[in-house]
Amino acid sequence: MRTTISPRRGLVIAIHPTSRGFGWVLFEAPGAIATWGVVDVSNYKEDKNRRALARIGKLLERYSPSVLILEDFEHKPARRGARIKRLCRAMLRLAAHRGIEVRVYPRAAVNACFRSVGAKTRHEIAQAVALHVDALRHMLPARRRLWDPEHPRMGLFQAAALAITYYTLAGAEEPP
C-alpha cells in the first residue's frame, strides 16, 4: 500500500542501512505509517554510498520530514562496516543541511522497547512490528536460517522498529 504524501511537517522517517541498500519507513503519527520502501543499490558499479545517499536525498526532499531516525552506528556494541558508517555520517550531514532533527538510538534501546512483548531477536522484533503496523504485515519475511543471508525486507522492519522506539521513548504511545 503506497500513498501519495504531500510534504508537511510532523513526519518522521526512519532509515536502516544494509549491505545491499536501505529500508525506510515514513510515519505521520504513532502507529500511522504513511509509506515505506526498500532500496537496493547493490547492482550498481558506481559507489553504493553515493547512490544510496542520492536516493535518501530524494526521500528527504519529497517528504520533508521533521525527524530522521537512525540506529547507532559508531559506539560499541554496534558492529557496522566502514562503508555503512560513512553512509550514516553522510546522512547526518544531509539532515543537518536540511534542518532535520536527528535521533540516533542504540540497539539496546530498540531491544528494551520490544522486551515487554517478549521479542528478543531481530525476527521476533520484526514480528512485533508486523502486528503493530498492519500495512507491513504482508511484508514480513520468513525466519532466516543460520546459513541464509538476511532478507532485504528486514531493513524495512528494523527501520519501523526504530520509529516505534522513537515514539515510545517520546511518550507518544505504549510499546507494541
Domains of the chain: 12-169 (3.30.420.10)
What is the per-residue pLDDT for 5?
Answer: 45
The pLDDT value given to residue 87: 93
Residues contacting 157, CB < 8 A, separation 6+: 23, 122, 125, 126, 129, 130, 136, 139, 140
pLDDT in tens, the chain (176 residues): 344 444 445 899 999 998 889 999 999 988 889 999 999 988 766 688 999 999 999 999 999 999 999 999 887 766 778 888 999 999 999 999 999 999 999 999 999 999 988 888 888 998 899 988 888 888 777 787 777 777 678 889 999 999 999 999 987 555 55
What pLDDT does 122 receive?
85
In the sheet that 21-29 helps form, which strands lie side by side, from edge to edge?
A: 32-40, 21-29, 12-17, 67-71, 101-105
Q: What is the pLDDT of residue 4?
A: 45
